[in-house]
Amino acid sequence: MRTSKYLLSTLKETPLNAEAISHKLMLRAGMIYNISSGIYSWLPTGLRVLRKIENIIRKEMEKIGAIELFLPVVQPVDLWRKSGRLELYGSELFRFVDRNNRNFILGPTHEEVISNLIRDLVISYKQLPLNLFQIQTKFRDEVRPRYGVMRSREFIMKDAYSFHIDHESLQKTYNIMYDTYKKIFSRIGLKFYVVKADTGSIGGSISHEFQVIVKNGENSIVFSTESDFVEKIEFTEAVLPSLSYKKPAKKMSIIDTINIKTINDLVKQFNFPIDKIVKTLIVHANENSSNHLIALLIRGDHKLNKIKAEKHPLVTSPLQFATKKEIKDIINADPGFLGPVNISIPIIADRSVIVMNDFISGSNIKGKHYIGINWLRDLPLPEEYDLRDVVDGDMSPDGKGILKIKRGIEIGHIFQLGTKYSEIINVSVQDKKGRNQIITMGCYGIGITRIIAAAIEQNHDDRGIIWSDVIAPFQVAILPIDIYRSYRVRKVAEDLYIKLNRSGIDVILDDRNERVGVMFSDMELIGVPYLIIIGEHNLNKNKVEYRERCSNDKKLIEVDNIIFFLKEKLAHCFV
């Protein structure tokens, strides 16, 4: 490519309205162009990176025998109503009607569509297992589109769906996909972590996420300082250092707290330590309980972990908080001053609450709090349960080191769906004995556009993006100084350009006749890994200057050696 015939469109200024560094750099490097909230055009430089990632994924998928197809963007609402996901996705679905008033959605995922197709096209166990994938534009009407392509409303995914006669076959493919995902992300050059995950709106049982640690990540990923423990915060057990109850030191008394609205108010106005305060949350009980409501207790500085709470045998799932009216009507308490003393419903207390002494909480009476509360003395010891998110400094559940929480972004997610969709849509095949057998399914996603943002978050400096060789938009940039004044410079540059192109190396020749500083800052901004600077001065010694983007190394290389040198550098891309 020649810059003179290319749409480079780099920006000097950092664009407003971009928070994440990857978003800023993608805009500045001319990779994307915003048209509406969360909707982007992929400019040539961005698309080059996108296509390289797509091709790595495609090749790895084909290696394991997955077969590519292409499902429609537009999906009939009926399919989603049938699977029960119309409500589940709710306003995240872009919905519309056609000229005949038929209802459609823009696909955020394709479980329904592909299950339907397989039901009609696959009839015998002999056709299984099947692993089908597509690379396609998906749509999701995000509440808060942000961080550029990290959370956008129109994005590109690789989604795969596997079909099996039984769970054993699914497990086999699941394991292969698990390994293939690791291979793909490694090839792309990402540092990532695999964590157990919630199956959420996709459904099924077992599921794993592939997470990349980035500054603006939306997930909390928990690490241990002294082992390779890694988990999503949703699943990490909060382990207590010891379960010894501290002795009461204070008497329980009631105080006036009429203007208190939050725990922070309590801390500020009364100077109470936040870890001496107990938060009381009232949630719905499920049909296993004889009560309608249940009280959950969490220490003031802790956060309720919904997934843990939902696992309690008496709590509804998904978790449902009691309304103010329910609290008043059913337990006759003031919703702003809740507490475990004299409450008429079952209490489940977080492990760290059980070991508290002389603690503070609401009194269930408007404008009053209890202080100096102690278990056993002032009220019975409640049921103990792990209810909270872990925090920095908690002990690691594997007993090694303490926990450190980082922000992560999901770039891949694999699911064992089981028969969730195949039962609803009646996807069955004839087994060996001619009997109908419901198919077992898996599904596997990679957020392709998001990978690009993640890669930039992980690899950049103050001059711009640092790409790995395999996904860089161009692998080599040729920067000739005074190309239109020096015949010799032009000749060497053009020769090199032609030869590198012939070698299958992605090369960009900057023939804009710009100052070397401008060429430099553009090529460093868009993250070209290897730069060759050609000038009269070095050509006198029959040399050109070589610079490496990631290491900042520079050296002079003989003109005749450049091709060989670069081919060696890039050899790993041609495996």
Binding site for its own copies (CB under 8 A): 1, 4-7, 9, 30, 33, 35-37, 39-44, 46-47, 50, 65, 67-76, 91, 94-96, 98-99, 102, 104, 106, 113, 116-117, 120-122, 126-127, 130, 132, 137, 139, 141, 143, 153-154, 512
**From the CB of 527, what's the least distance to its own copies, in Å?**
18
Query: Could you tell me the smallest distance in angstroms from the CB atom of residue 353 to its own copies?
Result: 38
Q: How far is the CB of 84 from its own copies (least distance, A)?
A: 19
Closest to its own copies by CB, 74 or 381: 74
> And the tokens for 88?
């589940």
**Beta-carbon contacts of residue 492 (< 8 Å; ≥ 6 apart):** 480, 534, 539, 544, 559
**SS3 for 123?**
coil
42, 25, 50: which is closest to 449 by C-alpha?
50
Q: CB of 511: closest distance to its own copies in angstroms?
A: 11
For its own copies, the closer CB: 114 or 295 = 114
Residue recorded with tokens 């719905």: 284
The nearer residue to its own copies, 4 or 426, going by C-beta atoms, is 4
d(CA 271, CA 376): 26
Residues whose CB falls within 8 Å of the CB of residue 42, separated by 6 or more in sequence, listed in order: 31, 32, 50
Q: Please, what is the minimum distance in Å from the beta carbon of residue 332 to its own copies?
A: 39
Say if residues 408 and 282 touch (Cβ distance below 8 Å).
no
Q: In this complex, which beta carbon is closest to its own copies, that of residue 132 or of residue 260?
A: 132
Strand 476-480 to strand 530-534: parallel, antiparallel, or no bridges (unpaired)? parallel
Minimum Å gap between C-beta 156 and its own copies is: 9
Q: Is the CB of 75 or the CB of 416 nearer to its own copies? A: 75
Phi, psi of 459, deg, nearest 5: -135, 95
Cβ-based nearer residue to its own copies, 134 or 357: 134
CB of 327 to its own copies, least distance (A): 30
Residue whose pair of structure tokens reads 């394709």 in the numeric block: 110
| Residue 152 DSSP code | -
Answer for the pair 54, 80: CB distance below 8 angstroms, yes or no. Answer: no
CB nearer its own copies, residue 3 or residue 468: 3
**Smallest distance, its own copies to C-beta of residue 272, A:** 41
What burial class does residue 286 get, using C-beta atoms within 10 Å of its C-beta: 0-12 exposed, 13-18 middle, 19+ buried? middle
Q: How far apart are CA 329 and CA 334, in angstroms?
A: 10
Min dist. Cβ of residue 150 to its own copies (A): 16
d(CA 171, CA 336): 49
Indicate the residue among 38 and 217 with the shorter CB distance to its own copies: 38
What is the spatial distance between Cα 90 and Cα 439, in angstroms, rounded to a whole number? 28
CA dist list (Å): 231 to 57, 203, 545: 25, 20, 46
Nearer to its own copies, 516 or 557 (CB): 516
Q: For residue 74, how many other CB atoms are within 10 A of its CB?
A: 11
